[in-house]
Amino acid sequence: MVVLLFAAAGALVGAGTGGAWYVGEAAKREAARRLGSHDRAAVADALRDELDVAELRSMARAAGVDPEQVVSGYEALRDGRLTLDELHQQIRKG
């Protein structure tokens, strides 16, 4: 879409300042649309993550395990601070 806007801008150069303004505004609207879509996806991901954490806490309580320890391990795995192999080693030691 952005490439088409630049092509249109080149075609409108002969149309003067009004054409350039229109293309600039169209580019701003397109950028805002993309950012809005990205923001909605980020919010949806955050909500799913919170639901996952709430479910983990619930499962940990039901199993008699400290929920905060479970959530901490989940976040470490999710963020890449802990690998599955490291987790398996900790379980074997524990």
pLDDT of residue 20: 58
Give the CA-trace dihedral at 27, 33, 35, 38, to 10 degrees.
-140
Question: Which residues lie closer than 8 Å to 9 by C-beta, 6 or more apart?
Answer: 19, 20, 23, 24
Asked if residues 23 and 8 have their Cβ atoms less than 8 Å apart, the reply is: yes
Burial code (b: 16+ CB inside 10 Å, e: under 16) for 64-81 equals: eeebeebbebbeeeeeee
pTM value > 0.75? no
Give me the number of domains the chain comprises: 1
Structural domain harbouring 22? 2-93
Condensed to tens digits (0 to 9), the pLDDT of residues 6-19 reads: 555 555 555 555 55
